[in-house]
Amino acid sequence: MTTTHPGATERTPVVPLPAGAARAATAVGALATAASTLLAWTWTPEFPGNLTISGYPGGLQVLTLTASLLTLLMTAASYHLPGLRWLLPTGSDNAVALLAAGTFATTWYTLVAISAELGGIVNLEPGGYAAGAASLLTLLAALGLPLDRRTRESLRVKVVPPSRDGGSGHAAALPSRLTYPGRLAAFLAARAYLAVSPRLSFTKRPLKAPAHLPAWGEILVVIAAYAAALGIFTYGIDTSYAELFAGFLLTAVFGVIALAQAGVLARLSAITAHQRPIAVAAAFAAAAAFPFTQSDDQYATIGVNILVFATVALGLNVVVGLAGLLDLGYVAFLGVGAYAAALVSGSPSSRFSSIHFPFWAAVLTGAAAAMVFGVLIGAPTLRLRGDYLAIVTLGFGEIFRIAVLNMDGSSGPQLTGGPNGIHDIPDLKILGFDFGQPHQLGGLSLGRFANYYLLMLLFTVFVVTVFSRASNSRIGRAWIAIREDETAALAMGINGFRLKLLAFALGAGLAGLAGTVQAHVTFTVVPEQYQFAGPVPPNSAFLLAAVVLGGMGTISGPLIGASLLYLIPAKFQFLQNYQLLGFGVALVLLMRFRPEGLIPNRRQQLEYHDDTLPGDTGGPTAATPEKDVVGLTQAGA
Amino acid sequence: MTTDTLTTPAGPGAPAPGTPLLQASGVTMRFGGLTAVNNVDLTVNTGEIIGLIGPNGAGKTTFFNCLTGLYVPTEGTVTYQGAVLPAKPFKVTQAGIARTFQNIRLFPNMTVLENVIVGRHCRTRQGLLSALLRGPGFRRSEAESRERAMELLAFVGLDGKADHLARNLPYGEQRKLEIARALASDPGLLLLDEPTAGMNPQETRVTEELIFAIRDQGVAVLVIEHDMRFIFNLCDRTAVLVQGQKLVEGDSATVQSDERVIAAYLGTPFEGAPGADEAAEVAAAEEHAAGAAAEPATGAASDGTTEDSAPRTTPASQEDPK
């Protein structure tokens, strides 16, 4: 048995197979899985998606087909086939194994879901069994590939096969009274455990030198990547039943991790950084194209809600991610913006129903009102640090909601309509364009929510611009300095209080901005929309979670975090009662395994994963320090 | 060559060498009943390197914090270039006093270059609006900050590591980076709080050279240190702080020969009767031990106190016949 050092990586299979056979079996298994989706998996169309038609994959079968074809493609790339080199720049077989695992998970999830919903595995057609067997074969074969794994030295014990004449495999560990079959079983168990115990290693392998792409080639790659992202995102939003969304999540999660392991994502981000203006334009175009992919307004609603949520989360990222101020009452600023816009919208239930501001004026009113509230709340509270600030902002957030609830004319002055809120907020009309009416554009119909989606997108772009420009400036650096070490920042001539107040006010203003659109999208504003925690995002807890989950201090992090946090509860309606439980479990797991969030900030990635720094090459470096220590002590003695 | 770029004056309107820059008079700092700093006067002239030494807990860092606005002195005033210093740290830095910390306080998750650019904060004016609009003024200011920061990194010898995270630098380089960051605010006076703590002799030498180079730029330096050789090589004058009070101030010869300073660091020798008695006891014990050594059979029980002075010629085996 070779000696390995703790934290070293090794390239061993989980299932002991010759590498060549494993690779071939993976390819065959993936092909067989793909073929099995052409068969009927169940006999009745009662299971959503209709998996009964042979030769025409439907619903979850499409996901299995996609995953298995991806596996096949990646396996082909691992054969170094010409033309597929771009798919596997790291050359790591982990990517193949992860895709095979994704195929397996999606397929078996489908089979289990069919059996559970229709009452027993009897409901599976032979095609279903074939799919299950083929995907299992693919996974086992892929686990026989030489995978990059992190060794756990402490678990390595010398395991020797036992012999019949009484010599035990491991004398110290196995009591001698065990009979031969017992010892054999213990040996096999130990071997199996040793094979499985090293974790898949996610340390970065160096990328192979990329083929030089001309500029137009890079642009095409960027456009294709964003088009693919739009396609995947649209598919996810449009999933019409929970099973399909669950399958989609499984496939997508495994697929993304596999692509990261393959090095495709790193390559892609390098190209994106190289073609920055094109990439930004392509991202905007992809986002703007979303409503045009929708045949009806049902899913555009989700789109506009995600955008509102994501925009507010990005505003919170100024406060939390840049300046490091933990604000637990942030949703109040969204509420201030929404109420301000509703009051001047000309709604008949508004206190000032005669006032009807044009939209630009309403936006300015909402943002200004939120900013004023931000300064009013920030001025006294920002003298506190850390946990105390979090508690006080939590309190102010609730004070806002309860105050609005009571300003109904009986408990307090009539301003907000109390629990009824302000309703019948009229639709926007900008330059004669009525947002409430569907419009035809180039043969495609844009419904009410699609209109608002496009409007909200402009606001999101504005907030993204503000965030990126502010963070990369003298002010942004001062915020980060305050977050890192406030005392040192003061000693560097930074007026800590003023800059914290500025961050608070800017964050509040951006939330107020989003609130003005939200008021018009939802027709009504009521206090219950602006809670600390509730089932429907945005609320303060979910906003903070979106920022932390996505990645603090980044732009794409909160956008992705907000999308996930909105979509998952919206699609899994049946989980309603357990939603917050699942949310808590997910947060705990995330903080355990990826404390820097899904999209790590360049800085935080270095902070939390020091062991992956260049120079940590495992074996040799682990040995040298010891040697040096010995040398030193000898010299000292 | 890199130092040439730094010949521009340090601090806005630095006065001619030899004139008083910082004047602390009667500075007293009390925390409740504890007087950490008691009526300390100190003057730093332009172009000077002043040392501040004293045993642990003497109040050196507290005095520093009084100078930099982190604490507001209970009594006394601190003036810089004739004006009373404001009681806010960032205003003190703006006035032209920069500092480093005893326990390094960098911005660990910012790059080395960003750390230094943050030091430029109070010498640049671009606000949030200008950052959002990205006009020509913003770009010019950013470029200037970056250029000046790179100059300073070259000055301290860190220009090759501009893109590293500050937290990943080795200890000695973190100290240097802290000095570069402090210099970025164009100070007239630099306060260094134990700049060589934890350094080996070579690193200490390099730091010494660095501080001389800083002085040659026209920046006065006030430095706290425990390394006496370092202080006496470096400083034009040294002040000794003991239990919150300034004991003595002067050049290295004056301080080194002052008995009170020696007493503060080493303690005073016992004088009078107890000392004489003890000396007599020791002499008696030595005599006894010498006598024991002459008689091997009984002298084996010589006690440990005289072990060193009494040569033990008795092998252990000779104890057995008894």
Q: For B114, which residue in chain A has the nearest alpha carbon?
A: A477
Out of A475, A493, A613, the one facing B90 most closely (by C-beta) is A493
| Any domain includes A630 | no
pLDDT digits (tens, 9 = 90+) for A493-535: 999 999 999 999 999 999 999 999 999 999 899 998 898 887 7
* Confidence check: pLDDT of A53 > 70: yes
Tell whether A239 and A386 lie within a shared domain: no
Contact flag B107-A489 (C-beta cutoff 8 Å): yes
> Chain A closest CA to B110's CA: distance in Å?
7
Tell whether A497 and A362 lie within a shared domain: yes
| Any domain includes A83 | yes
> Chain B closest CA to A276's CA: distance in Å?
17
pLDDT of residue A182: 76
| Any domain includes A276 | no
Tell whether A188 and A80 lie within a shared domain: yes
The model's confidence at residue A177, banded by pLDDT at 50, 70 and 90, is low
CATH number at residue A299: 1.10.3470
Evaluate whether A48 touches A243 at the Cβ level (below 8 Å).
Answer: yes
| Any domain includes A614 | no
Contact flag A474-B90 (C-beta cutoff 8 Å): no
Tell whether A256 and A316 lie within a shared domain: no
Tell whether A231 and A337 lie within a shared domain: no
Tell whether A569 and A477 lie within a shared domain: yes
Contact flag B126-A473 (C-beta cutoff 8 Å): yes
Tell whether A212 and A117 lie within a shared domain: yes
Last residue of a domain, one of A218, A247, A265: A265
Q: For A602, which residue in chain B has the nearest alpha carbon?
A: B109
3-state secondary structure (DSSP) of residue A193: helix
β-pairing, B189-193 vs B220-224, is: parallel
Out of A477, A480, A491, the one facing B68 most closely (by C-beta) is A491
Chain A residue numbers with beta carbons less than 8 Å from the beta carbon of B89 are 487, 490-491
d(Cα B184, Cα A461) in Å, to the nearest integer? Answer: 35
Contact flag B101-A488 (C-beta cutoff 8 Å): yes
pLDDT of residue A310: 94
Chain B residue numbers with beta carbons less than 8 Å from the beta carbon of A492 are 90, 93, 118-119, 121-122, 181, 185
| Any domain includes A168 | no
| Chain A residues within 8 angstroms (CB to CB) of chain B | 465-466, 469-470, 473-478, 480-481, 484-485, 487-496, 502, 506, 603-604, 606-607, 613
The model's confidence at residue A626, banded by pLDDT at 50, 70 and 90, is very low
Angle between the A19-36 and A126-143 helix axes, to the nearest 10 degrees?
160
Evaluate whether B288 touches B306 at the Cβ level (below 8 Å).
Answer: yes
Q: For A601, which residue in chain B has the nearest alpha carbon?
A: B109
Chain B residue numbers with beta carbons less than 8 Å from the beta carbon of A493 are 90, 93-94, 119, 121-123, 185
B80-84: average pLDDT: 90
Q: Where are the alpha helices (DSSP H) in A382-424?
A: 387-406
Q: Say yes or no: ipTM exceeds 0.90.
A: no
Tell whether A248 and A343 lie within a shared domain: no
The model's confidence at residue A161, banded by pLDDT at 50, 70 and 90, is low
Chain A residue numbers with beta carbons less than 8 Å from the beta carbon of B145 are 474
| Any domain includes A631 | no
* Confidence check: pLDDT of B6 > 50: no
Q: Which domain holds residue A88?
A: 9-162+178-265
Q: Is residue B109 less than 8 Å (CB to CB) from chain A? A: yes
Tell whether A322 and A254 lie within a shared domain: no
Residue B18 neighbours by CB distance under 10 Å:
10
d(Cα A434, Cα B32) in Å, to the nearest integer? Answer: 69
| Any domain includes A636 | no
pLDDT digits (tens, 9 = 90+) for A252-266: 999 998 998 888 888
* Confidence check: pLDDT of B119 > 80: yes
> For chain A, how big is the Rg over CA atoms in Å?
29
* Confidence check: pLDDT of B306 > 50: no
d(Cα A567, Cα A536) in Å, to the nearest integer? Answer: 11
Out of B94, B105, B185, the one facing A488 most closely (by C-beta) is B105
Q: How many domains does chain A have?
A: 2
A321-339: average pLDDT: 93
Q: Name every residue whose Cβ is closer than 8 Å to that of residue B238 and which is 6 or more positions away in sequence.
A: B50, B51, B52, B53, B231, B232, B249, B250, B251, B252, B255
> What's chain A's average pLDDT?
82
The answer for B 182-241 residues in CB contact with A (under 8 A) is 185
| Long-range contacts of residues B56-59, Cβ cutoff 8 Å, at least 24 apart | B58/B241, B58/B242, B58/B243, B58/B244, B59/B29, B59/B241, B59/B243, B59/B244
| Any domain includes A63 | yes
Please tell me the least confidently modeled range out of A374-383, B225-234, B262-271: B262-271
Q: Higher model confidence: residue A277 or residue A466?
A: A466
Best of A462, A474, A604, A608 to disrupt the B interface by mutation (most B CBs within 10 Å)?
Answer: A474
The model's confidence at residue A19, banded by pLDDT at 50, 70 and 90, is confident
Tell whether A241 and A322 lie within a shared domain: no
All structural domains of chain B, each given as residue ranges with its CATH number in brackets, are 1-96+186-268 (3.40.50.300), 104-185 (3.40.50.300), 273-319 (no CATH)
Tell whether A398 and A302 lie within a shared domain: yes
Contact flag B145-A466 (C-beta cutoff 8 Å): no
Chain A residue numbers with beta carbons less than 8 Å from the beta carbon of B138 are 473
Tell whether A431 and A579 lie within a shared domain: yes
B221-234: average pLDDT: 90
